[in-house]
Structure 1
Amino acid sequence: MANSNKGKVVLVGAGPGDIGLLTLNGKQWLEKADVILYDHLVNPDILRFTQKSTEVIYVGKKAGVASMEQEEINQLLISKAREGKTVVRLKGGDPFLFGRGGEEIQAVQKAGIPFVIVPGVTSVTGVAAYAGIPLTHRNLSSTLSIITGSNEKKQGDIHIDWEKIAARSGTLVFLMGARKLPLIVEKLLRFGKNPDTPIAVVQWGTTARQKTWVGTLGTIVEISAQDKILPPALTIIGEVVNLRPVTEWYEHLPLFGKTVVVTRKGDQAESMIDRLRELGAEPFFFPVIETIAPDDWSPMDNALNNLSQYQGLIFTSVNGVRFFAERLKVIDQDIRELKGLRVFTIGPKTAEAVRDLGIRVDVVPENFVAESLIESMKNIEGQRFLLARAAVAREILPEQLRKMGAIVDVVPAYQTILPDTPADELAKRLTAGSIDVITFTSSSTVTNFLALTGEKLLPAIKKAKIACIGPVTEKTAQVAGLNVDIVPEQYTVSSLIDAIEAYFHH
């Protein structure tokens, strides 16, 4: 995407943590970016919206320790933009609210670089909403004060006018104040704030790791010391905190607090990720399969140019349908060539993909496995079938159909390869015991997942619950040494998520 024209810097607010709170405008810029510089509190899952070729650079700060100084970040933004690139500066929350966004844009503007600013959902409103605390309320609070709780100068005090802050009657929100909580409370009490004033501290807000502590100015320091509340945390002070028992919702969702690894390939994972988020889970996207064209198209082309010799066409996956349809276009054919062919599919999603092409599906077996399709195919002796599938797959379907007297031409429509998905973050989470469920939607997802994670992580993997889409995938997992905890009655992704919900609900 980079060109000889002057590049630009796009300052994007990533929101407070939940990937669903990224704005549409922010997502569009991520999809177009040549370079991305992102901070510590940005949900790394957001980076899946980038192109494969995008250069991704971490410039975050954790526990006050910067991986790169601010001046270096400014210079990097400028130098990358001067290469003619679209540079996205991705910041947690909103970049203009205690995010140093103003400083960075000043530097970019001074260098004569064009810039765009994309606001984000600030943690102030996002975290409060997910904690079930309205920041204003007609009967309780008509003012809102947003205050930084951190101190860049590494001195003990925070440079604010405590007397004026303590005198305010509305809601006070402190960002980045977990480590300074005793100081904040001590100052507010010293300048006259009532010790019975309600207070809430929300850690990891808007994520499945969210935890909320509620107390008063008189009790919260003891609570914090006892439970060792660490950053990132947002502190809300005021009468609106008392509304939480009525308005809290997020922490009551059925899969709240559960982190679920999604191993499906990128373009097929979105609906699964969205559904898990709706149920309160944190989807951890770890794609273990990439589908590409077969090494040789000639078997497929030969079959497509001679479709009249077939009585039936069999699809076993959505990928098979997609690559088949794309190849039909490439060789200048269309769906009219399928006239008179009976179409057989495994699974409702595969059938849906065929119908989306305007083609009628004749047979979808009751159970979504090859064995069930075989049972539903009667009186096929002497008939010829085209099976468009992955280059490597189970042989039970063509073998059984041939035993029943059919002629089966198996042609590769695509092949699956191991993507270069980095496993570092997953390894950290597995080792820390913060992965609750690992989902597998095919045998190849099991094999590839274990290949990408390696033997060292196997003990940690075994501590998570294993959820498989059906008995074939379950058997592959068991052969690999995994204990399978969850298998749905219907072999669909939707049923798999239902089964995960039921497992934890009961």
Structure 2
Amino acid sequence: MTQDVRVAVFRPDDERLADAVELLDSLGAEPIADPMLEVRPTGNAPEDGEYVILTSKTGVELAADTGWDPGSATVCAIGDSTADALRDHGYEVDVVPEEFSSAGLVEALEAEVEGKPVEVARSDHGSAVLTDGLADAGAVVNETVLYELVRPADSGDSATAAADGEIEAALFTSSLTVEHFLAAAEERGVREEAIGGLNEAIVGTIGEPTRETAEAEGIEVDVVPEIADFEKLACEVVEEAAPTYHE
């Protein structure tokens, strides 16, 4: 039923992209792999704090590579995948918010962080919702950049494909993937055409912030899973796209 549904996926060119391609293959879809994020480690380790927050599996892996020891800090993960990565590296996880987002973390911690040092260790494109929210709750916030996220120089084939009407679905996993997709489209001179192509396809975003970024740029979003999980995103988008494609 779903065979030949062409799905653009923008994850970094590591095991995340390989896993995404494997998942889409298993769903009978045809992946169009176009990494929109490249990870450049800074070599920094999380600094000390009574609370230490990690917001991605990548951040956990890079922190672990530095030999980071949280000591007696309360270790917080933004969601289950980050928490799983922490446990896989031998760290205990004390806090995972009900809502896997920056706003969810603020809600989980705001009643207990007043006057306390909170370390936020993440990429250079982390949301201000987290740091500002914790500061507003009275925390003494420090942010350490563990890695930079840049757009690969050869990215953009998916933008051309979208402009040519050659995709049925797209999976955006962060606001930055949306921004980099549009930058690649602009670079190729097909920005408006690519947006038009997306609006004829099924577009999924992994959460509300990504949806808001996409819609602010004129991209219509069809699917946002209740849980910010890539597998759920992919499954729901392919399920939505397949009947449309085969009508």
Please report the TM-score for the alignment, with normalisation by the length of structure 2: 0.88
- Tell me the equivalent position of 2:82: 350
- Tell me the equivalent position of 2:113: 380
Structure 1 residue 293 corresponds to structure 2 residue 25: no
Q: CA deviation at 1:399?
A: 1.2
Any stretches of 5+ residues in structure 2 without a counterpart? none
Q: CA deviation at 1:425?
A: 7.1
What is the CA–CA distance in structure 2 between the aligned matches of 1:273 and 1:496, rounded to whole Å?
Answer: 13
Structure 1 residue 312 corresponds to structure 2 residue 59: no
User: Residues 218-233 of structure 1: matches in 2 within 5 Å?
Assistant: none
SS of the residue 2:22 aligns to: helix
What is the CA–CA distance in structure 1 between the aligned matches of 2:207 and 2:13, rounded to whole Å?
Answer: 21
Q: Which has the higher contact order (CA 8 A, sep 6+)?
A: 2
Structure 1 residue 259 corresponds to structure 2 residue 1: no
- Tell me the equivalent position of 1:416: 149
- Tell me the equivalent position of 1:406: 139
User: Residues 3-14 of structure 1: matches in 2 within 5 Å?
Assistant: none
User: For residues 175-215 of structure 1, what are the alpha-carbon distances to aligned partners after superposition, in whole Å with 9 as ceiling and x for unaligned?
Assistant: xxxxxxxxxxxxxxxxxxxxxxxxxxxxxxxxxxxxxxxxx
**C-alpha spacing 1:463/1:262, structure 2 compared with 1 (3 Å):** same
Is the Cα contact below 8 Å between 1:288 and 1:421 reproduced in 2? Answer: no
What is the CA–CA distance in structure 2 between the aligned matches of 1:414 and 1:422, rounded to whole Å?
Answer: 20
Q: CA deviation at 1:289?
A: 0.7
- Tell me the equivalent position of 1:489: 226
What is the CA–CA distance in structure 2 between the aligned matches of 1:256 and 1:371, rounded to whole Å?
Answer: 38
**C-alpha spacing 1:382/1:426, structure 2 compared with 1 (3 Å):** closer
Q: CA deviation at 1:339?
A: 2.1
- Tell me the equivalent position of 2:172: 440
What is the CA–CA distance in structure 1 between the aligned matches of 2:75 and 2:25, rounded to whole Å?
Answer: 35
Is the Cα contact below 8 Å between 1:443 and 1:476 reproduced in 2? Answer: yes
SS of the residue 1:438 aligns to: strand
Please report the TM-score for the alignment, with normalisation by the length of structure 1: 0.44
User: Residues 314-329 of structure 1: matches in 2 within 5 Å?
Assistant: 314-326=53-65, 328=66
**C-alpha spacing 1:274/1:444, structure 2 compared with 1 (3 Å):** same
What is the CA–CA distance in structure 2 between the aligned matches of 1:443 and 1:430, rounded to whole Å?
Answer: 18
Q: CA deviation at 1:500?
A: 1.4
Structure 1 residue 282 corresponds to structure 2 residue 30: yes
Structure 1 residue 452 corresponds to structure 2 residue 184: yes
User: For residues 290-320 of structure 1, what are the alpha-carbon distances to aligned partners after superposition, in whole Å with 9 as ceiling and x for unaligned?
Assistant: 11023xx5xx46x64xx3xx21110111222
- For 1:466, which of 198, 203, 207 is the aligned residue? 203
Q: What is the identity, as a one-letter code, of the residue corresponding to 2:156?
A: A
Is the Cα contact below 8 Å between 1:289 and 1:417 reproduced in 2? Answer: yes
Q: CA deviation at 1:392?
A: 2.6
Q: CA deviation at 1:457?
A: 3.1
What is the CA–CA distance in structure 2 between the aligned matches of 1:474 and 1:257, rounded to whole Å?
Answer: 26
- For 1:270, which of 18, 21, 35 is the aligned residue? 18
Any stretches of 5+ residues in structure 1 without a counterpart? 1-251, 329-333
User: For residues 265-308 of structure 1, what are the alpha-carbon distances to aligned partners after superposition, in whole Å with 9 as ceiling and x for unaligned?
Assistant: 111212121111011000110001111023xx5xx46x64xx3x
**C-alpha spacing 1:339/1:442, structure 2 compared with 1 (3 Å):** same
User: For residues 204-230 of structure 1, what are the alpha-carbon distances to aligned partners after superposition, in whole Å with 9 as ceiling and x for unaligned?
Assistant: xxxxxxxxxxxxxxxxxxxxxxxxxxx
Q: What is the identity, as a one-letter code, of the residue corresponding to 1:457?
A: E
**C-alpha spacing 1:494/1:411, structure 2 compared with 1 (3 Å):** same
What is the CA–CA distance in structure 2 between the aligned matches of 1:424 and 1:283, rounded to whole Å?
Answer: 12
SS of the residue 1:338 aligns to: coil
* 452-461 or 283-292: bigger deviation: 452-461
Q: CA deviation at 1:505?
A: 6.3
What is the CA–CA distance in structure 2 between the aligned matches of 1:492 and 1:363, rounded to whole Å?
Answer: 18
SS of the residue 1:410 aligns to: strand
Q: CA deviation at 1:460?
A: 2.5
Is the Cα contact below 8 Å between 2:55 and 2:79 reproduced in 1? Answer: yes
User: Residues 118-157 of structure 1: matches in 2 within 5 Å?
Assistant: none
SS of the residue 2:97 aligns to: coil
Q: CA deviation at 1:341?
A: 1.2
**C-alpha spacing 1:423/1:461, structure 2 compared with 1 (3 Å):** same
Identity %: 31
**C-alpha spacing 1:424/1:368, structure 2 compared with 1 (3 Å):** closer
After superposition, the CA RMSD in angstroms is: 1.9
SS of the residue 2:197 aligns to: helix
SS of the residue 1:266 aligns to: coil
- Tell me the equivalent position of 2:236: 499
- For 2:123, which of 364, 382, 390 is the aligned residue? 390
